[in-house]
Amino acid sequence: MTRYKITLSYDGSNFAGFQVQPNLRTVQGEIERALSYINQQRKTTFVAAGRTDRKVHAKGQVGHCDFHIEIPPYKLKRAINSNTDDDLYVVHVEKVDERFHARFSKHKKTYIYRINLGEYQPMERNYIYQYNHNLDVESMQKAISFLLGTHDFRAFVSENEEKENCIRTIYQASITRSLENPNILQILFEGNGFLKYQIRNMVGYLIKVGEKKVSPDEIQQVLTSKDRTKAGKRAPAQGLCLEKIEYVEEI
């Protein structure tokens, strides 16, 4: 058995999310279909570092699979890309030790959420949230600093994960303007893991701060409350992209 680590990018616009779902087109479903065909028609599971929601994009999703046959990585990359549609692309393939696990090996994830404060841009509507109004960016920058570090993020997690351990660590969190277009805000989060809807819920609250509906330091009260209802509206999915996954202790 040979284990391969696969890095892929995808446009989430036409996927019903990452995870396999009956009768729906998903990222995992598409790549497993290709892998199983290449692996001599054997059902092959693709284990990802994490799942992305419907309409969320990825530049550097990572997963692993096990093959009964051994194929040079460059040939496996070419074979997968030949058997998938143009909105999914394998960037890199490498053979790894069987102890490597895309989800459980120690890693950190980087996401960027993009918001357009300027005129509506129809060509970007699937990739940048078209907010199209001004926001108090300075207040948002103050608020996001309170999310740094290790916290129980239960207040920013989907209700159906109420019983899950919601303690996570955010290493970096920043809000900057794009150098190419100052009207585009880039909200970056780097952490050891994120829960379902966590980033979109945090961004939704930051937008609320930018609208001057709440003060920047009130985000601390939301955190400590552990009450999802206090965090407010969730930001739309299409502005979010999984930029990269870095493994701290590669085997």
Which residues are marked as active site? 53
Distance CA 45, CA 68 (A): 12
Look at strands 47-48 and 184-191 and give their pairing: unpaired
Task: Return the amino acid letter for 230.
Answer: K
| Cβ-proximal residues to 24 (8 Å cutoff; 6+ apart), any chain | 16
- How far apart CA 201 and CA 153 sit, in angstroms, is 10
Residue 135: partners with Cβ closer than 8 Å, 6 or more residues away: 115, 117, 185, 207, 210, 211
Q: Which helix (H) or strand (E) holds 177?
A: strand 167-177
User: What's the Cα-to-Cα distance from 207 to each of 118, 210, 218, 250, rounded to whole Å?
Assistant: 15, 5, 13, 37
